[in-house]
Amino acid sequence: MRFYVRQLNRRQKTEDRRQQSVLRPPSSVLPPLFGFYVAVFFVVCSLACKPKAPARTDVNVPAPTTSVEPGRSLVEGTAADGVAVTVNGVDITESQIQALIAPELQKLSAKTAQLPPAFAEQYQKQLRQQALENLIVEQLLDAKVKEAKIEVTEEEVTAQIGKIASGQSPPLSLDDFKKKIEEYGRSFDQVKQQIHKGLGYQKLMEAQWAGKINVTQEDAKKYYSENKKEFETPEQVRASHILIQPKTGEPNVDPNQAKDQAKAKAQGLLEQIKGGADFAELAKANSDCPSRAKGGDLDFFGRGDMVEPFEEAAFKLQPGQVSDVVETKFGYHIIKVTEHKDASVTAFEQAQDGITNRLTQNKRAELAQKFIESLKEKASIVYPPGKEPKAAEPVLPSGSQGKVE
């Protein structure tokens, strides 16, 4: 059972993603490289497909788009594979595209029964086009790296692997890092090849950035003054809860009786808490929310993150106080507030370094985008008859919302 509070606690979800993002199995068309901070990877994986999209403001960017070894030709299939496009005389085959998008297609197939056929078909088309565009850009960058005679040493690759491993949460040893890679079905040699390729891209782009990026304090102040809401933190509380859900889904159970039983159980637990019982231990043993694994802790949340009755009760409590039984559409809750933060504004002096870094990355992304666009304009990119790219169509059917995850 999942405890949704208007949406699942957004801050908790964000923290979970932060902790897990670099250690999740690659599931997107463009697999992540375990937090490798090379801005050009973002360009390869995002700007190539969406040249007019806003630039990212961080540098935790995706990895190179394929596992092809540095220096190897992209031509790996036979004529039976079918050529998808030829870039400066180098064929990119349909088999390469399929290998790249296979993980996402597997995820899609598991949900096909729940999706309109037109949705699934259009989604597959967009996956293919995205992968194809990335392969084109990667081929162009590989050629430029070779032309510039850029070399990446084994020592540089090893050092980068060490940074990646130590940057995990928690930090990993090299052996643990290798194990994680193997758990996700990838070989360590494959990851080394990707890092080798990425370092080559980084060196290539550093030459493009040299002398062209200068973010001043005035630039940072201007951004701060024009985006003040970004630096405002609303009032927040940190709370734990115990959720008791009525067993209304069971056959031959009267819904009203189920609600009465759930409420009575919650009242009994509340009496135990008032009598000195440990809140976290009771949550672990009784709560119907996944947060029970952490003693009911929901982390910090602001107004609007929770359903109204829950939010109203939580914001009335002082740290250490426990609510009465609170009823929401999810069931009956006992809420304990553990911390409180007043609304605040981050001063410019505290935000300056982060703003400067953000603006620097934006400029790097902009220059990299222009560089890649210039490569594409000069390149000979030839599609077989009937395989010319078409204008992108919306993935979602008219009137629908959401996305495939």
What number is the average pLDDT over the span 374-382?
95
Residue 60 pLDDT exceeds 80: no
| Conformation bin of residue 386: beta by default, left when phi > 0, alpha when psi is -120 to 50 | left
What is the structure's pLDDT at 180? 85
Ranges 272-276, 296-300, 390-394: which has the least confidence: 390-394
Percent of the chain with pLDDT over 70: 74
The residue with greater pLDDT, 98 or 253, is 98
Percent of the chain with pLDDT over 90: 54
Residue 220 pLDDT exceeds 80: yes
Range with top average pLDDT, 71-75, 142-146, 245-249: 142-146
The residue with greater pLDDT, 388 or 152, is 152
The residue with greater pLDDT, 101 or 335, is 335
- Residue 336's DSSP bridge partners are 240, 322
What number is the average pLDDT over the span 228-238?
95
Supply the DSSP string of 77-129, one letter for each residue. S-GGG-EEEEETTEEEEHHHHHHHHHHHHHHHHTTGGGS-HHHHHHHHHHHHH
The residue with greater pLDDT, 113 or 264, is 264
What number is the average pLDDT over the span 264-279?
97
Ranges 50-64, 156-170, 199-213, 311-325: which has the least confidence: 50-64
What number is the average pLDDT over the span 381-386?
92
- The band of 16, judged by pLDDT with boundaries at 50, 70 and 90, is very low
- For 82, 92, 94, 197, 332, the CA distances from 77, given in Å and listed in that order, are 8, 9, 9, 21, 59
What number is the average pLDDT over the span 344-356?
96
What is the structure's pLDDT at 170? 82
CATH number of 31-222+352-382: 1.10.4030.10
Residue 382 pLDDT exceeds 50: yes
- For 49, 59, 353, 405, the CA distances from 45, given in Å and listed in that order, are 7, 13, 27, 18
- The band of 336, judged by pLDDT with boundaries at 50, 70 and 90, is very high
Query: CB–CB of 312/14 below 8 Å?
Result: no
Residue 65 pLDDT exceeds 80: no
Residue 24 pLDDT exceeds 70: no
All CATH 1.10.4030.10 domain ranges in the chain, comma separated: 31-222+352-382
Distance, CA of 254 to CA of 74 (rounded, Å): 64
CATH number of 235-342: 3.10.50.40
Residue 356 pLDDT exceeds 90: yes
Ranges 8-22, 83-97, 315-329, 358-372: which has the least confidence: 8-22
What is the structure's pLDDT at 164? 87
- The band of 115, judged by pLDDT with boundaries at 50, 70 and 90, is low
Q: Considering only CA atoms, which of 8, 6, 4, 2 is closest in space to residue 307?
A: 6
What is the structure's pLDDT at 32? 33
Distance of CA 63 to the CA centre of its chain: 13
Ranges 80-84, 122-126, 349-353: which has the least confidence: 80-84
